[in-house]
Amino acid sequence: MGAVSLRAAMDGGRVSAADLMASTLERIGRINPVLNAIVALRDADALMAEARAADGVPAEARGPLHGLPMAVKDLVGVAGIRSTWGSPILAGNVPSQDDMLAARLRGAGAILIGKTNTPEFGLGSHSTNPVYGVTATPYDLARSAGGSSGGAAAALAARLVALADGSDMMGSLRNPAAFCNVYGFRPTWGRVPVDPVGDTFLHQLATDGPMARNIEDLALLLEVLAVPDARLPHGRPAEPFRAALDVAPGPLRIGWLGDWGGAYPMEDGILSLCSNALAGFPDAVVEDVAPPIDAARLWQSWITLRSWAVAARLGIFHADPAKRALLKPAAIWEIERGLALGAMDVHRASVIRSEWNAVAAGLFRRFDLLALPSAQVWPFPKGWDWPKSVQGHEMDTYHRWMEVVVPASLLGLPALAVPVGFGDAGLPMGVQLIGPRGADAAVLRAGQVWHGATNWPGRMPPPL
């Protein structure tokens, strides 16, 4: 059952929070050991006591996530739960208070059972770290669940939880959704607030967002997370995202960008699967679109702004030699690259971003949505560091193999990763449906149409 269905069942007395918790813990005990999706799982007796207490809350006092077991991505501090960011530097960290996202989940009635696995500090789309190890996709236990929200996506696909939070700087809600046959929604940047710590003006790349097995559940969690905070300068008003799903989007015009004119190498079968799936989008006209801007310039802008942001966030660990020795090489490379940048380097990168924004605005006058594959590779062996080449093209950074997510991330556009089926090897894949800034509700409405016509998560659960 999905989150909305479970909430209705609890309110109707057909399911208790205690029943749900017992079922959740039993399934995690059976299935999680082969997936490694959920980490830092809390004591079962404490969780059952919390669930029984939830059953005693009057219906009128229940929040939108009342009684739902949720594991929070391990890039979020949660009071009383080991919160490591996948780093040995923070391996013993147990916060005394919740970060904003965790506090909002608790405030909405969710029961926080533990964490979901992620790469170290969320760097890279492969959920492996020296604290907890690697997470597998439930569709092939020898292959990666993606990342950085890989633990969340795998837990959802395996029916360990009904709903999950994730975050996305460079595809971290989209790649794992594709690798695990679920939905991941990157909202418009600024839609979901974060703790107002440090700079709140300059860095506009990363955002939190929801993951689920259906669109109504995505909208439910987005409403909980997307409440503006006056301490942040780029917020957006709250919206009734679930109610918006009841409004049919009407005929859709979708611009298919494919592999960006060959700039984004794709493993065999991905482009054809994605384009053939889009051709069946109900009540939509799909048109091929030539590359609207040079991909190399977008990449230059992206890696400059990303390295700058990573250095600003993690430079404090790099500055301490003892902690630097515990960072993975990719993190050190990214931080040092960011520390070497000058102000004009950042300015030039933002000029390219501004040019792309103007070009994209023109595209959205022609199309309601733009579409790209959610990933350039199928789920890869979980023992890899990352894919070092794609179709004979050598990858020159630890994240170049996921370049296809950059166009949406660079502009902070709403992007919904939808499942589109399976390749010849039985591995899942997805497509990004990208809307103009602020059009989150419209993108979710389109996703609702897609889900109604396909329901890949329901049709093809993993063979566990």
CA dihedral 174, 300, 254, 264 (to 10 degrees): -70
Q: Is 331 helix (H, G, I), strand (E, B) or coil?
A: helix
In the residue annotation, 73 being an active-site residue is answered as yes
In the residue annotation, 172 being an active-site residue is answered as yes
**Which pair of tokens denotes residue 229?**
């905070």
111-116 and 69-73 beta bridge pairing: parallel
From the list 87, 125, 144, 148, the catalytic residue is 148
Reported as type and span, the H/E element at residue 186 is strand 183-186
**Which pair of tokens denotes residue 74?**
């391990």
252-256 and 284-288 beta bridge pairing: parallel
**Alpha-carbon gap, residue 323 to 340, rounded angstroms:** 20
User: DSSP code of 41?
Assistant: P
In the residue annotation, 148 being an active-site residue is answered as yes
Which string of DSSP letters, residue by residue, matches 88-132? GGGTT---SS--HHHHHHHHTT-EEEEEE--SGGG-SSS-EETTT
**Which pair of tokens denotes residue 120?**
């170290």
From the list 172, 301, 307, 374, the catalytic residue is 172
**Alpha-carbon gap, residue 81 to 117, rounded angstroms:** 13
**Alpha-carbon gap, residue 207 to 167, rounded angstroms:** 6
CA angle 185, 10, 462 (to 5 degrees): 45
Beta partners for 370?
255, 434
What residues are labeled active site? 73, 148, 172
